[in-house]
Structure 1
């Protein structure tokens, strides 16, 4: 299976569009959203401004041509991501169209980190498992898994305060989350990761902790991330191989499109698509939605995400199959979801090339179009990105000066890239000038304010204390010699992170508040944890929740929990 499950990494195709005006459409219920998104694929915007679902005559109630849920008074422009077609189907599928029926204990929709972990856990505990994956390979990205109390942290001598972590998580979500879900992750994530390390063996290389807690501008960035020497793709591949060794049946290019319920309303299986037609997989013990986010479903995003969060320059998740199929399948049968607006996991350093400019992620001076500094450049990524997106035009400028490689080396801090690598990431978008006035003119920055900002910033560098914003003194690098450089910076989106409401056992909750029997949601198809912003400062908690509940759900379905 190694050849079949090799991790994919494809470039995202993007189309620059001028943003439609948001005219305050009526609120869209979860069920209506599911119906409105039925069967639509992400498509370039038409001249009429219709969304893909509207062009098919299936728009969500309350929305007319060119309307979406949230207003866009600034007229922000968006780079619309292009992904795969939506697999979910709203219409009923006739039993006569089913070409094959498969019976098993557990059917898992999605072969990412959460689906792979759940498959391994369930199969290890003696269950028959079928995994349905939309893509031609598994989905994996990144290098870290978050956990508390695991042996990698213990070996590094790092002990995290779970109660303080919980308080931070709740406060970051403004308490618009489920405390029991967070508490379960904190209590069981260490055990889950230890199991994961035992399961994958040497496939991932070393598991190690790179960072202790750090505090900048009153924000604690937690050292909860455990880094994998060979990256997350090695973890997912090893999990799937372990699941297969225990009898799991993994089917690629077989997207789930419809949930099946019996006469008592219990979720009993899934209908999926193949090149030869529909198949039905019946899961006697449970159906697990592990289909990822919906960042490549533009129709969903324009109805659920803040316009400022959508106005990023780059969409950098290589998993183009993330079109919200699990969300839509759950909503279709009455599942509840997280409150709007939903959030995107955004980083700073989004470049107009559509890539993340790693060299621009460093703590260089930032200014907006008005030539004003607006942020402590040492903030954790979510707050830094939010500050950038809040500026006029949802962007700002990274300012550098002098020899560029020397500047990158000085600003590097703990970044894992060489100055040469960082320069390569920004050279296509680097704006260069011999004077500050010329730089301001090239960028469209108000020079009068810019000149004052630079003078003040250099003054702070001279005294060695940022009394204006509280930046780390070691990152105070003056802008006092040419040549001068700027990078036009917006956010870059990784994934959407809100999903179906779940309890601490990952069971999906209906809009009536009752558990939907036999239905589970994991990873970015699940909700109940995040609100307002994705907490990058709670390091690697996104991958951490995938592993924790993948492990726990497999045990729960086997009756071990």
Structure 2
């Protein structure tokens, strides 16, 4: 559990479209249009002031924020003197970041004959989760699951309100199956079985796509095996060596300056620099400049990779890159608890009410829409209600959740409010008593009828609240990662504000943009890992001249 400090802010920053201002990244380099202004790179997190042209987005509901703790920005704004360089290294490609995207790029580049250096800010690789998204791969074929590419593209584009790059999505659709099959070949049996849970499902007008391929041993096993594969291909893998600044000459990015315990290392990359540094969920200043107040009001920040402080984003902006339009979005889940952790047992489809005692959502919604609905409620929170013998209730509601009832109980026991009656529960939680009693009465009637005529919930998930004890879990969102970043084209080349590619610079994963807007599409199962692997694979081939 992370330390959480509560703050109340009347306003958070929101920027104009794209990035404004100019800065010279290194001595002798001319400033570029777009990118990060000098004012944005000041302060303890290297970006605390508002840039020219930014406005303030008011926190109208006076929401409280639990500020994430632990991140330290590696990016350095001021030019680094040549006399401070302790080591200079030559290579074809330098990849910054050893998560899913970075290790995939490093393996792809190194297996195609490129001299590759892989830098990582942390002491080891970064990985979490269980699934990778793909269309047309071997696992889906073996499961007999066919996904319609045209319907998928329509959904992806409409979810982003068409404020995304169609060519990027198309390339993912066309090549993701190939990329996953390639990845499986690289890791051998290190990850156990690769399998699909099922095809598409649809609730409350939302199709949850069966794009996810689950790894028996989880994503960490994949990323570790890929990092080892890159090393066996001859890649130079350096941990605790973050890139802190891009080297740019005559408009072309020619390398990076990194930093380790012995000092600065200049890495000249003949073919290109690949930014795969993750998001900025542990940089509060970037968050308050770019994210909606309601999305920031989550109870929990659960990404264990506290090195995600926006270094790649800041480095890109400093050389003239454009970023996704504001407001940026977070990958938020429901079940954020005030402990600062995710209460997994509260992720299930139990009855939810807001502090006014009103039901407000179909509890079968996919995670992004469920989280959005929760955050929209008064106080950006709600209450998950359970009744009777709690372990059987968790067992009945668990569906395909990967936890046992005992594990789910352990995740909620410290945040459970228990009462002998609904009246007492309402008083303890600060819920409108009259409305709560009426809501539960109506919900029990729907359960008895086996038909949720009010919200359309799956009949199998209609679990009544008839006999005590009665339980409530106060819930808000929980943030995994930020998912907007530098604008890129379908070849992962970073673009400037005129949509021209910045020569020599590429971006992958959560430091890249051009795909998501408005809300993260959780209903496209595992798309975050899917884009990391696919574009990592493709960028290595591109740099080797194969694409």
TM bracket, shorter-chain basis: over 0.9
Conserved 8 A contact 2:110-2:116: yes
Task: Give CA deviations for 1:409-443 in whole Å, capped at 9, x if unaligned.
Answer: 11111212111111011000000000000000000
Distance 1:108 1:98, change over 3 A: same
C-alpha distance in structure 1 between counterparts of 2:293 and 2:306, whole Å = 21
Instruction: Give the CA deviation at 1:69.
Output: 3.3
1:106 aligns with 2:90: no
C-alpha distance in structure 2 between counterparts of 1:59 and 1:458, whole Å = 51
Superposition RMSD on alpha carbons, in Å?
A: 1.5
Task: Give CA deviations for 1:238-257 in whole Å, capped at 9, x if unaligned.
Answer: 11111111110011111111
Distance 1:472 1:142, change over 3 A: same
SS of the equivalent of 2:68 reads: strand
C-alpha distance in structure 1 between counterparts of 2:260 and 2:20, whole Å = 26
1:426-441 alignment, distance < 5 Å: 426-441=412-427
Instruction: Give the CA deviation at 1:83.
Output: 2.4
Structure 1: state its 5+ residue gaps: 1-10, 43-51
Distance 1:177 1:390, change over 3 A: same
Distance 1:218 1:25, change over 3 A: closer
Distance 1:34 1:137, change over 3 A: farther
Which of residues 518, 543, 547 in structure 2 aligns to 1:557?
543
1:238 aligns with 2:228: no
Instruction: Give the CA deviation at 1:38.
Output: 2.5
Please give the TM-score of this superposition, normalised by the length of structure 2: 0.95
1:461-540 alignment, distance < 5 Å: 461-540=447-526
Instruction: Give the CA deviation at 1:275.
Output: 1.5
Corresponding position of 1:164: 151
Conserved 8 A contact 1:100-1:278: yes
Instruction: Give the CA deviation at 1:39.
Output: 6.4
Query: Which segment drifts farther, 92-101 or 303-312?
Result: 92-101
Instruction: Give the CA deviation at 1:29.
Output: 5.8
SS of the equivalent of 2:257 reads: strand
Distance 1:388 1:23, change over 3 A: closer
1:541 aligns with 2:544: no
Corresponding position of 1:22: 11
Conserved 8 A contact 2:118-2:235: yes
Which of residues 274, 296, 309 in structure 2 aligns to 1:323?
309
Distance 1:149 1:236, change over 3 A: same
SS of the equivalent of 2:414 reads: coil
Task: Give CA deviations for 1:181-203 in whole Å, capped at 9, x if unaligned.
Answer: 00000000000000000000011
Instruction: Give the CA deviation at 1:211.
Output: 2.1
Instruction: Give the CA deviation at 1:84.
Output: 2.3
1:154-553 alignment, distance < 5 Å: 154-262=141-249, 264-553=250-539
Corresponding position of 2:29: none
Task: Give CA deviations for 1:107-164 in whole Å, capped at 9, x if unaligned.
Answer: 0000001000000000000000011111111100001000000001111111111111
Task: Give CA deviations for 1:61-120 in whole Å, capped at 9, x if unaligned.
Answer: 478xxxx83210111000000122101111111112111110000000000010000000
C-alpha distance in structure 2 between counterparts of 1:301 and 1:340, whole Å = 11
Conserved 8 A contact 2:12-2:57: yes
Task: Give CA deviations for 1:361-398 in whole Å, capped at 9, x if unaligned.
Answer: 00000000000000000000000000000000000000
C-alpha distance in structure 2 between counterparts of 1:40 and 1:14, whole Å = 21
Corresponding position of 1:13: 3
Instruction: Give the CA deviation at 1:53.
Output: 5.3
Distance 1:311 1:23, change over 3 A: closer
SS of the equivalent of 2:535 reads: helix
Conserved 8 A contact 1:439-1:485: yes
Corresponding position of 2:122: 135
Task: Give CA deviations for 1:431-480 in whole Å, capped at 9, x if unaligned.
Answer: 00000000000000000111111111111111111111010111111111
Conserved 8 A contact 1:34-1:90: no
Distance 1:297 1:35, change over 3 A: farther
Corresponding position of 1:3: none
Instruction: Give the CA deviation at 1:277.
Output: 1.5
